[in-house]
Structure 1
Amino acid sequence: MELYEFELSGNCYKVRLMLSLLNLKYESRIVNGPEKEHKSSTFLEMNPFGQVPVLKDNDIVLRDSQAILVYLAKAYGGNDWFSEKPAEAAEIISWLSIAANEVSRGPGALRAHFILGRPINVEEAKAVTTSLLNVLEKQLSEFQWLATNKITIADIAIYPYIALSRQGNVSLSGYKSIREWMSRIQNLPGYIGMSGLTP
């Protein structure tokens, strides 16, 4: 397997984390962002949207971090990471959608703004983040994991930009259940961190 990635991307990190949790070997291919390598014709053949991560598994080429998590769970995780039960599978997918929407527009956007200088509507991103954290805190005050009674790719999809939220000037001090959930993930066998992520 080959993972085309940016080192500081939370979306790339979630794929690295999943690969590690599944104890899967892969080659990291760091894409040169400043040189716009992800917009090159070669890269666009793998992902016409010009975005990382991209995962190659033999002749299979996958884009989008959420989709890659689904693939890894289904191909290599048995039923441990993605439920076969329709209602539970739907719940997992709903959290994958939240990862691509609220997490991206909230804590993900704030982090990109404060560490990469990306222009955003800061007040809007803060409002999205506060609403998201309140929902997560309520969910995790009632359940150990987001989607089912055990960890799934829903937790892996949401975790990175929440755990990196300090880089977006977001404090988790008032969110005890979220911090406990993060600790449970960080104590998993095979867990790996990334730059900027403090247990």
Structure 2
Amino acid sequence: MKLFDYVLSGNCYKIRLLLDFLELSHEKQAVDFFPGREHKSDAFLQINPLGQIPVLEDDGAYIRDAQAILVHLASRYDPTGTWWPVNDPSQLGRVAQWLAFADSITSTASAARLHDVLGYDLDVAQARAGAHKLFRVLDDHLANQELQGFNWIAGSRPTVADIACFPYVALAGDGGIELFYYPAIQRWIRRFVNLPRFKLMPGINIFD
């Protein structure tokens, strides 16, 4: 199993997190995303024609898209069925809807981070405003979950929904997005970083 990886990518970090949570042996192939733009090279486009990372090579197949890789790993390698709860259709639907939500976080909070950290030319004010709108939704949801006795996005245990949403929320400060006004998100981040086998990434905001 090989992960085509960039250490500062939140989407690659999602995959590294699940690989570690599942204790899966794997190789990392570094991709010079910035400044080398290796993900747009002819060689890499043979692996992923969309020119995006991460990509996972597993058993001779290439799986692209962070959320798709999470589902692949959890459904194939988690014998407990907790990270991708295939035996609970109701919860599975809840998990799936938050994977879509995670894509929206990537297009807003991650975009703001690309602007501030890597100098990407984009409308950062719009990206930050979009991230704040999403974070209000997530914060309200997490607060309601807590009132019902649930600590995680889709229930009483963490799933790939939490992994999918976590990186670019926890990295929001890199894009000039303050999490001070989202107390339920802060509590969720604290719970997440205390999961067994959690590994930190540079830029992650941890709240005392």
| Equivalent residue, structure 1, for 2:26 | 26
| Equivalent residue, structure 2, for 1:75 | 76
Deviations 1:110-159 (A, max 9, x none): 11111111122222212211111111111111211112221100000000
Structure 1 runs of 4+ aligned residues shifted over 4 Å read: none
> What amino acid is aligned across from residue 149 of structure 1 in structure 2?
S
Take 2:179 and 2:91, find their aligned partners in 1: how far apart are those partners?
28
Q: How far off is 1:105 after superposition?
A: 2.3
| Equivalent residue, structure 1, for 2:89 | 86
Report which stretch shifted further, 187-196 or 79-88: 79-88
| Equivalent residue, structure 2, for 1:190 | 197
| Equivalent residue, structure 2, for 1:59 | 60
Q: What secondary structure sits across from 1:29 in the alignment?
A: strand
| Equivalent residue, structure 1, for 2:47 | 46
| Equivalent residue, structure 2, for 1:6 | 6
Q: Does 1:129 align with 2:131?
A: yes
Q: Does 1:107 align with 2:114?
A: no
Take 2:108 and 2:45, find their aligned partners in 1: how far apart are those partners?
27
Aligned residue-pair number: 198
Q: What secondary structure sits across from 2:51 in the alignment?
A: coil
Residues 57 and 63, structure 2, Cα contact 8 Å, conserved in 1: yes
Take 2:134 and 2:84, find their aligned partners in 1: how far apart are those partners?
23
Residues 5 and 31, structure 2, Cα contact 8 Å, conserved in 1: yes
| Equivalent residue, structure 2, for 1:140 | 142
Q: How far off is 1:9 after superposition?
A: 0.5
Q: How far off is 1:12 after superposition?
A: 0.4
Residues 3 and 57, structure 2, Cα contact 8 Å, conserved in 1: yes
Alignment TM-score, normalising by the size of structure 2 = 0.91
Take 1:40 and 1:111, find their aligned partners in 2: how far apart are those partners?
23
**Unpaired runs of at least 5, structure 2:** 146-150
